[in-house]
Chains A and B, each alone.
Chain A
Amino acid sequence: MRVLVAGLNHKSADVEVREKLAFSGEKLEPGLRALLALPLVKEAVIISTCNRVEIYMGIEGGVEGGEGAIRQVKQFISSFHQIPSGLLEKALYFYTDTAAVRHIFRVTSSLDSMVVGEPQILGQVKDSFQFALGKKATGVLMNKLMKKAISVAKKVRTETKVAENAVSISFAAVELAKKIFNDLAGKRVLLLGAGEMAELAARYLMTNGVSEIVVANRTFERGCELARNFNGRAVTFGLFKQEMVHSDIVLCSTGAPSYVVLKQDVHDIMKERKQRPVFLIDISVPRNIDPKVNGLENVYLYDVDDLQGVVDSNRNEREKEAGKAEEIIAGEVEVFERWMAGLESVPTIVAFRQKALQIGEGELEKLFNRNSFDEGQQKAIRHMASSIVNKLIHPPTAALKEDAEDRDILIALLRKLYDLGGD
């Protein structure tokens, strides 16, 4: 048995192609069925998310099995989704054996994701595997492979920091807000200006517990509209300084050509706030809040570049950690390979053993037919025969089970020498 993966992801194919090839909902089960009907495919798991469509298969062994299976799977995908196979050529990738095992380990560990370290993929793989398991589409190989991939992902997560730290601006803003206020519940957010980025960031803050949102926009109507989205309220732009006194987080994106919030303003506001800390986020370009404001006590000002800086350094951090993750994966791939190779020698060992026992039985039968022994003697002879057989087959069996580089040769040799058939 060999492992084969056929797939496409966000790197190999555009969203239009990925959409067409997705095994969504009701397509999943017929897809699995059709796959298993292919002569060379023995086991299958389909993982279909918005960023990737991948089919993991246990296929017939041998070089023929590999190339044949690839051909069959290509044909299957093109006919199942009714897409000309020429279109698939660029989008699809195929990995076999070691490369396939490494690929699934990297996928579950979120090293192959669009945003490295994002956590969803592991859950998606788990679900896909459960589905295939439920439909009895998997066997020894896929079960072991998927379980191992899930445990490798957990190992990567606990032993490296690939999944730590925010990697988007809004997320970085929330992370910072939490390090300032600890808990965002009960905090009030003021939106200065109603830009799209501000809206996105405000939404993130809401999902993280912020309860109250006030919008101050130059066009009052637009402000009202936005406020309605958040269950908040709108005030006229002129009132923003009064509002700042009661706001813990200020998101500024007015689109004004110069500073709207000056150091003296914030200084006065802080006095009125009794120095309760305030987190100012200036996502306007050019900036709307005087950067000197950051020098005031209990005031924390971040502009777009600052946040981007945080995101970049987090990304770097993750990529550094990804190196460690690759090492862990390389080790695990090796372990899996050894297990798979052991799997390869099993049929040979079984055949070899059967052959030896058969010979033993045959000879005993002949002997007992020709001569008459009493029960005790028969027993003793049987015992001797079986111990000779066992002693003779033990060393070659052990050698096959052993994890040696020349195992392939040994298998071929044994099959030839004892005429066990097969390759």
Chain B
Amino acid sequence: MGAITFDISLAFYFCAMLFALLDLFKGAKMLPKLMLLSALLGFGFHTIYIFYSGFSSGYVPIVNPHEATSFFAWCIFLLFFVLEYRYKLGLLGSFITPLAFALMFVSFILPAEMKPLPPILRSQWLGIHAVFAFLANAAFAMAAGVGVMYLVQEHYVKSKNLGGLFSRLPSLHVLDEINYRLITIGFPLFTVAIISGSIWADNAWGSYISWEPRQVWSIISWLIFGIVLHARLLAGWRGRRAAVLSILGFLTIIGAFAGLALLHKGQHVFL
């Protein structure tokens, strides 16, 4: 029951990605609708899967790498729907669904078996830390996607070549504004994740920070996004710069995520 819902949602997400990419090249009216429909169906099954594994294991299902990447993708889709509903940004799906699908695919490859949770991880702080961290990461992923859209659109305007996606991409102002909003949402969530994480670390190991690589990376990402916000307010770092930095910030997150998950080192058992 659990595995099949995951597979179905993976299939729907794949369709959503196909429609989204086709839309990039063909631009038929039906494609965005089909994309959204498949994504919603995939999301429905994905939600069932997450609740199912949560109930059957008795903890928030973000403990092994399989669950973590799957939950990450789930958060991205959740935010994607919110943005679609509120702003209807043209072509957003084409830039977001490939990333979310890639995460789902990685999750699919990773072993889904559930080991009993080590006693050290059994804390209410785990849920809080992880949920906040992934929501923040999803907001940053979104910001990076919108940042890429900004760079593409800016390229059209700057190069004075207004073909291709120019007319279908949102305006620079809107892209910049939404990139900024996503970071202002992601940053406090990320801060809460870091604080709850260190409280948890203190409970488990008796110190708030142990300077293990995962923690260091998180602080680097946190600093980058802090700089994006700070420099925007003070020095007007907007547009291109904000877009590049948010992409960079997201890459540090993905890098830490992938690198450390593979190395399996440190106290972050899974990540």
Contact = CB atoms under 8 A, between A and B. Distances in A.
Interface of A: 164-165, 176, 178-183, 273-277, 294, 297-298, 300, 302, 306, 309-310, 313-314, 317
A273 B236 CA distance: 8
Interface stretch (B46-54, B58-66, B135-143, B152-160): B152-160
B215 interface: no
A275 B158 contact: no
Contact of A164 (B157, B167, B171, B239): B167
Interface of B: 153, 157-158, 160, 162-163, 166-167, 170-174, 235-241
Contact of B173 (A164, A182, A294, A310): A182
B160 A180 contact: no
Contact of B153 (A164, A179, A298, A317): A179
A386 B157 CA distance: 77
A165 B236 CA distance: 32
Given A176-B157, A179-B157, A310-B160, A297 B171 contact: no
Contacts of B158: 294, 300
Contact of A310 (B162, B171, B172, B237): B162
A275 B166 contact: no
5 contacts: A182-B171, A183-B173, A297-B239, A297-B240, A297-B241
Nearest to B233: A274
Nearest to A273: B236
B173 A180 contact: yes
B167 A275 contact: no
A314 B153 CA distance: 18
A310 B239 CA distance: 23
Contact of A313 (B163, B170, B235, B236): B163
Contact of A302 (B160, B171, B235): B160
Given A274-B236, A275-B239, A165 B157 contact: no
A297 B158 CA distance: 10
A58 to B, nearest CB: 37
A275 B160 contact: no
Contacts of A182: 170-174
A313 B238 contact: no
Contacts of B236: 273-276
B71 to A, nearest CB: 34
Contacts of B238: 275-277, 298
In the complex, the 4 A-B pairs of residues with the closest C-beta atoms, listed nearest first: A274-B236, A275-B236, A182-B171, A182-B173
A182 B88 CA distance: 14
A275 B238 CA distance: 7
Nearest to B162: A310
Nearest to B153: A179
A297 B245 CA distance: 14
B173 A298 contact: no
B162 A180 contact: no
A275 B237 contact: yes
Nearest to A276: B236
Contacts of A309: 160
B167 A180 contact: no
A307 to B, nearest CB: 9
Contacts of A275: 235-239
A181 B171 contact: yes
A328 B47 CA distance: 46
Nearest to B170: A182
B258 to A, nearest CB: 31
A408 B170 CA distance: 57
Contact of A298 (B163, B166, B239): B239
A215 B140 CA distance: 43
A277 B241 CA distance: 12
Nearest to B234: A274
B172 A179 contact: yes
Contacts of A178: 171
A31 B236 CA distance: 66
B162 A277 contact: no
A164 B236 CA distance: 35
Nearest to A166: B162
Contacts of B239: 275, 277, 297-298
B173 A181 contact: yes
Contacts of A181: 171-173
Nearest to B241: A297
Given A179-B166, A298-B238, A298-B239, A277 B160 contact: no
A288 to B, nearest CB: 18
Contacts of A276: 236, 238
Contacts of A165: 167
Contacts of B166: 179
Contacts of A317: 163
A80 B66 CA distance: 85
B235 to A, nearest CB: 7
Nearest to B163: A313
A206 to B, nearest CB: 19
Nearest to A181: B173
A313 B162 contact: yes
Nearest to A271: B236
Contacts of B241: 297
A263 to B, nearest CB: 15
Given A179-B171, A277-B172, 11 more contacts: A165-B167, A178-B171, A180-B173, A182-B172, A273-B236, A277-B238, A298-B239, A300-B158, A306-B160, A309-B160, A313-B162
B163 A180 contact: no
